[in-house]
């Protein structure tokens, strides 16, 4: 059944390719918007970075190794001092120190006074003067 608003002279098969291409473009655009919104790379987006040559880090490592190698080579070929055996001298033995003990006072005397509630001093005889 044909609709009333469809013209009879339209070739539907010719329009199919145009419609399919338009649908593919819409789908690609929708996927691109979704990937941008979610901040994820697209499937066909390939990030390839190639570097040629050396950066400053590699050059610094090579320069440091060359300087170190030159220093070793120079020391081997032109020693500043003739080679002598290394002698390690032991220090002379020391006499042990005698530690003197700290002398404490044998007896210390303190005066202890007792007071009652009114502030009067209470006489307490020394322990040596007490009866046994």
Contact 113, 123 (CB under 8 A): no
pLDDT given for residue 60 in this prediction? 93
**What is the block-wise mean pLDDT of the chain (132 residues), using blocks of 10 residues?**
62 78 90 86 69 85 93 80 75 82 70 87 81 64
pLDDT given for residue 36 in this prediction? 85
CA-derived radius of gyration, the chain: 52
pLDDT given for residue 63 in this prediction? 94
pLDDT given for residue 67 in this prediction? 93
Contact 114, 121 (CB under 8 A): yes
Number of other residues whose CB lies within 10 A of the CB of residue 35: 14
pLDDT given for residue 84 in this prediction? 72
Contact 114, 124 (CB under 8 A): yes
């Amino acid at each position: 059944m044909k609709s009333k608003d469809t013209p009879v002279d339209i070739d539907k098969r010719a329009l199919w390719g145009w419609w399919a291409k338009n649908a593919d473009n819409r789908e690609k655009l929708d996927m691109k918007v979704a990937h941008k919104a979610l901040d994820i790379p697209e499937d066909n987006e390939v990030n390839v970075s190639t570097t040629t040559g050396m950066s400053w880090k590699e050059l610094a490592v090579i320069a440091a190794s060359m300087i170190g190698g030159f220093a070793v080579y120079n020391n081997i070929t032109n020693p500043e001092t003739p080679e002598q055996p290394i002698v390690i001298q032991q220090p002379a033995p020391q006499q042990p120190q005698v530690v003197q003990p700290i002398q404490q006072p044998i007896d210390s005397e303190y005066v202890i006074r007792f007071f009652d509630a009114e502030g009067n001093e209470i006489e307490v005889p020394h322990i040596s003067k007490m009866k046994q």
